[in-house]
């Protein structure tokens, strides 16, 4: 549920005038590669040459916002400015879109709630449960997980320490997640009884109840930053759905290795239903359910 690449157009947009009525700004292939590699180093998001138009249009938006007239100026700002971290965050918000929903991929949610969560809870000697939603976007996934935990534990929730960690590279997405307010469309897959139980409706807005919010926390983390991900340990479940498809093979290997290290023995990894760890990792045991494959860390 990472913030997904904002790719709504299939053809290259026309160059826009920046800095004057006669100046049409074009991103050269050489500078595209330099910008692409810089973004990749910081985020793991990879643009191949076929997506040059996409990166060009998003960077143009940042040039306009900053009052810059050349791609070269923007590259040097990212590369050398002491404030580059702030601008990278603004750029990541520009090139990503928060496409997610509550109870996304119902078969996976049913396997989690009906089989794997009860199994993990039963095996626990200490009443502590930790989950990591990697690429959580605007928070729908971690809040969904918290709701399902509340459903399974019921009154026993007071006896448990439950920590659902949602991380994303987009600060703007996380700010929305922390607020916990959503429109009706993002709830389209959620069972109606769960909406009534865990949301407060105010006009067109649905607000997450505090009993759910208190189980979830959010952090801005780059999944490729081992200094950050190495601190995430003792997880019983990791959810990273529809995120790996935006990384190249080497980045996927690094990210999945960090997931493996974060999991307790017997913990589970969920990835997108169209994603696979084939050629990425052989460390996990594949667990098959109808319409669902889950990856287990044995031990």
The correct CATH number of 4-97 out of 1.10.10.1110, 3.30.70.640, 1.10.155.10, 3.40.50.2020 is 1.10.155.10
**pLDDT tens digits along 26-55:** 888 899 999 999 988 888 788 888 888 888
Superfamily in which the 106-296 domain is placed by CATH: Vaccinia Virus protein VP39 (3.40.50.150)
Q: What are phi and psi of 98, to 5 degrees?
A: -95, 85
Q: Residue range 271-275: average pLDDT?
A: 91
Return the pLDDT at 246.
Answer: 78
Say whether 106-296 and 4-97 share the same fold. Answer: no
Give 255-298 as a DSSP string: HHHHHHHHEEEEEEEEE-TT---TTT--SSEEEEETTEEEEE--
Contact 226, 257 (CB under 8 A): no
Instruction: Please return the burial class of 134, using the count of CB atoms within 10 Å of its CB with bins 0-12, 13-18 and 19+.
Output: buried
Average pLDDT, stretch 75-93? 87
Helix, strand and coil content of the chain, in percent to the nearest 5, comes to 45, 20, 35
3-class SS of residue 177: helix
* Confidence band of 228 (pLDDT split at 50, 70, 90): very high
**pLDDT of res. 174:** 94
What pLDDT does 27 receive? 86
- At residue 24, the pLDDT reads 66
* In the chain, domain spans: 4-97, 106-296
Q: 244 near 275, Cβ under 8 Å?
A: yes
Q: What is the rounded CA–CA span in Å between residue 226 and residue 223?
A: 8
* Average of per-residue pLDDT values in the chain: 89
pLDDT at 138: 94
pLDDT digits (tens, 9 = 90+) for 1-32: 444 444 433 333 333 444 443 246 788 889 99
Q: What is the pLDDT of residue 128?
A: 98
* Total-model pTM: 0.81
Q: Is 15 exposed, middle or buried (0-12, 13-18, 19+ CB in 10 A)?
A: middle
Q: Helix, strand or coil for residue 161?
A: strand
Q: Are strands 128-134 and 161-168 parallel, antiparallel or unpaired?
A: parallel
Give residue 41's pLDDT: 84
Task: Answer yes or no: is pLDDT of 133 > 90.
Answer: yes
Structure tokens at 19: 């800095």
Report the candidate in 280, 222, 224 with the shortest Cα–Cα distance to residue 253: 280
Q: Which of 28-37, 70-79, 178-187 has the highest mean pLDDT?
A: 178-187
Residue 99 has pLDDT above 80, yes or no: no
């Amino acid at each position: 549920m990472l913030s997904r690449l904002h790719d709504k157009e299939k053809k290259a947009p026309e160059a826009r005038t920046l800095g004057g009525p006669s100046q049409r700004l074009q991103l050269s292939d050489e500078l595209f590669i330099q910008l692409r590699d810089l973004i990749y180093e910081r985020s793991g998001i990879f643009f191949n040459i076929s997506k040059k138009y996409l990166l060009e249009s998003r960077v143009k938006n940042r040039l306009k916002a900053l009052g810059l007239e050349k791609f070269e100026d923007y590259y040097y700002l990212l590369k050398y400015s002491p404030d580059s971290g702030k601008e990278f965050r603004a750029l990541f918000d520009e090139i990503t879109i928060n496409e997610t929903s509550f109870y996304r991929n119902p078969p996976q949610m049913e396997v989690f709630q009906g089989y794997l969560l009860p199994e993990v809870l039963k095996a626990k000697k200490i009443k502590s449960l930790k989950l990591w939603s990697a690429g959580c976007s605007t928070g729908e996934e971690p809040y969904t997980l918290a709701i399902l935990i509340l459903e399974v534990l019921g009154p026993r929730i007071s006896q448990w320490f439950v920590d659902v960690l949602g991380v994303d590279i987009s600060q703007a997405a996380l700010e929305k997640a922390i607020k916990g307010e959503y429109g009706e469309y993002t709830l389209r897959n959620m069972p109606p009884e769960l909406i009534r139980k865990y949301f407060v409706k105010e006009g067109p807005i649905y607000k997450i109840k505090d009993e759910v919010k208190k189980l979830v926390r959010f952090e801005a983390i780059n999944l490729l930053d081992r200094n950050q991900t190495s601190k995430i340990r003792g997880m019983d479940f990791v959810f990273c759905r529809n995120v790996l498809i935006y990384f190249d093979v080497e980045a996927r290997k690094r990210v999945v290795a960090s997931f493996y290290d974060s999991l307790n023995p017997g913990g589970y990894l969920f990835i997108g239903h169209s994603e696979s760890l084939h050629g990425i990792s052989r460390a996990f045991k594949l667990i098959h359910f109808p319409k669902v494959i889950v990856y287990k860390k044995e031990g």
